[in-house]
Structure 1
Amino acid sequence: MSRLPLDQVDAFVTAARLGNLTRAAERMNLTVSALSHRMRLLEQRLGRKLLARGPRGVDLTPDGQRLFDAIASPLATIEQALQQATVRSDTAVTLSLIPSMATAWLVPRLPAFLARHPELALNLQSSIHVVDFEREPVDLALRLGGGRWAGVQAERLFDESIAPMASPALVERLGTPAPDRLGEWPLLGDPADRWKDWFTRFGGQPPARYVAQFDDTETLHQAAVQGMGVALARWTLAEPLVRAGRLVPLTGERMPAGFGHYLVYPARSLAHPGFATVRAWLLEQAGHAPRPAATP
């Protein structure tokens, strides 16, 4: 063989690890067609089929599994060595978070941060995928969950809560419901079906059916903005819509969502001067006094 096709090997290993071509392409900043092209070239080069498409993604063929077992570990060692050898700027910090959190919570606060710290360059990676600190040059991330993740330090920023909200037009048309009559309103089904918990906690009867059912929180909120019905909205994401007058809380009550927002980072970030500044600012924005960072 001639030149070693590292770009094709990387495409194969990434797709094999994730089991999904779309996610692998996003991880590599490629289009799916470009990733597929690299895979075809590698398979043609070896004369073997390495991946097989399945109902939920891609699976390794027996030949693919043998190749993956042989090269995945050495490739990971090379990636780790390159990452450790990379010279990173003390004034550039990379933060990963989901798009909805970036839009609703972080971006509105960024102008004040940048004005206070013009010496820092804050790079945002907005993605629904959980960052892999072992493979990606990311310094810290915002995550949703219970606060326990292996290999990282997790600091709670704040807990999430939910509350029923509707558009001003719907409230003007139907009035403000009594808490125990909320089930008579047109309700929008939420991703986790938390309406049952809401009625158990605050009283009233759930409706026989929802006006519409959604599996995405942002789409649910936008449906409420358009007047389709009442959403059991996540407060952190809905607060900008409330401030803009596009959603109206129907009660002063809130219910814990059962998860929180956390700042997470690997031990290597503690040696980064810019990380300390961004971390302290995030804790400040979440209402906490900055405190010394702890080693995982």
Structure 2
Amino acid sequence: MKPAAPPPLNALRTFEAFARHGSMTRAAAELCVTHGAVSRQIAALQASLGVALVSGPRHALVLTEAGSQLAERLTPAFGAITDAVQATRHGAAREIEISCLGTFALKWLIPRLPGFLEAHPEVRVRLSESYQRVDYRRDRFDGAIRIVEPDEIHPRAQATRFLPQHQGPVGAPEVMARLPTLAAVAGAPRLRSATFRRAWPAWAALVGLDLPPARVEREFAHNHSMVEAAVSGMGVAIAPWAFVAPDVVAGRLAAPFGFVERPSWFAFLRPDGRRDAAVDAFRDWAVVEGALSPPPPIPSTDPDAGTRR
């Protein structure tokens, strides 16, 4: 019996883009085609396979079980094709995209990155900023750096811890000089990032501090904005040591109460099961750099025992 002809590659590519984005509009933008073209390609693919891949109203389509299974296999396959084309285009050079928390990239990764590039001239590194949970059924970057909580799951990812997470209160030196106790810190204007709104209560629980309601609270979209607000004297921030170490060392920020270790860590997440020597080299380099990173220079202390439970 003659085997069935494979479905058109363009239809598969269009469906994979829709499945990854969850949106025909965003898939159309990536592929530089119209919304209608995406819809027609998906309809053609369903007709070719004789299987429903999407369901629901036209403005809110979702993947069926068959669609999810197909997309899960297509994304790494198209990723491998992209890698092969890039390798051919650049000769021996290999470009990898690393998705990273923006503040971590600015304060920790980029200052160290020249060392990796010098040791691996055959690898080009492109950084992209994201705070979303990694899902390699959808994501197309080669590796990612995230803060990982103990119960957190990143589908199809192989996670490697490379740096512990310490948090503590930081502020401009003149602001912290007016706050002699943890109780005074708790009463200061609080700065927080929308990416981790629980920073203050999480830190207070770790140091055993009864945290009163905030009198003044100022929120910023990202940690780097929050850190700069602390430098400017707008209040006190609870920040990871990795995000503020250069500013504390330079004297732009003060951290007289030190940092406490959180039950979370910085991890490098790479696609599970995909062989890639360049990504493995970057992961191994991050592990070495994490081990060489200085810990918080001031131990976490509590000079105001009366504020503890």
Q: CA deviation at 1:119?
A: 2.9
Q: Distance in 1 between matches of 2:218 and 2:62?
A: 47
Change (3 A) 1:196 1:119: closer
Q: CA deviation at 1:232?
A: 1.2
1:1-296 matched pairs, under 5 angstroms: 6=10, 10=14, 14=17, 18-19=21-22, 25=26, 30=29, 38-39=34-35, 61-63=56-58, 69=64, 79-85=75-81, 87=84, 89=87, 91-94=93-96, 95-134=98-137, 138-146=141-149, 148-171=153-176, 175-189=178-192, 191-200=196-205, 201-203=207-209, 206=212, 208-214=214-220, 216-252=222-258, 254-269=259-274, 271-287=275-291
Structure 2 counterpart SS, 1:227: coil
Q: CA deviation at 1:197?
A: 4.6
CA contact (8 A) 1:199 1:206 kept: no
Q: Percent identity?
A: 24
Is 225-234 or 74-83 further displaced after alignment?
A: 74-83
Change (3 A) 1:126 1:43: same
CA contact (8 A) 2:93 2:124 kept: yes
Change (3 A) 1:170 1:282: same
Q: CA deviation at 1:145?
A: 1.3
Q: Distance in 1 between matches of 2:74 and 2:213?
A: 57
CA contact (8 A) 1:91 1:274 kept: no
Change (3 A) 1:72 1:63: farther
1:13-43 deviation digits (Å, cap 9, x = unpaired): 755664568xx74xx6948xx98x8225656
Q: Which runs of 5+ in 2 are unaligned?
A: 1-7, 43-54, 293-309
Change (3 A) 1:142 1:250: same
Q: CA deviation at 1:284?
A: 0.3
Is 70-79 or 231-240 further displaced after alignment?
A: 70-79
Structure 2 counterpart SS, 1:286: helix
1:29-82 deviation digits (Å, cap 9, x = unpaired): 948xx98x8225656999xxxxxxxxxxxxx75346779558776566555544
State the AA in 2 paired with 1:118: P
TM-score (norm: length of structure 2) = 0.66
Is 82-91 or 275-284 further displaced after alignment?
A: 82-91
TM-score (norm: length of structure 1) = 0.68
Q: Which runs of 5+ in 1 are unaligned?
A: 47-59, 289-296
Structure 2 counterpart SS, 1:223: helix
State the AA in 1 paired with 2:261: P
Structure 2 counterpart SS, 1:249: coil
1:225-261 deviation digits (Å, cap 9, x = unpaired): 2211111122211222223332111313x23333211
Q: Distance in 1 between matches of 2:159 and 2:63?
A: 32
Q: Give the CA RMSD over aligned residues.
A: 4.1
Structure 2 match to 1:55: none
Is 120-129 or 204-213 further displaced after alignment?
A: 204-213
CA contact (8 A) 2:192 2:218 kept: yes
Structure 1 match to 2:297: none
Q: CA deviation at 1:282?
A: 0.9
Q: CA deviation at 1:107?
A: 0.5
Structure 2 counterpart SS, 1:237: helix
Q: Distance in 1 between matches of 2:59 and 2:12?
A: 13
Change (3 A) 1:239 1:68: same
Q: Distance in 1 between matches of 2:122 and 2:213?
A: 55
Q: Distance in 2 between matches of 1:75 and 1:221?
A: 40
CA contact (8 A) 1:166 1:231 kept: yes
Aligned residues: 262
Change (3 A) 1:195 1:279: closer
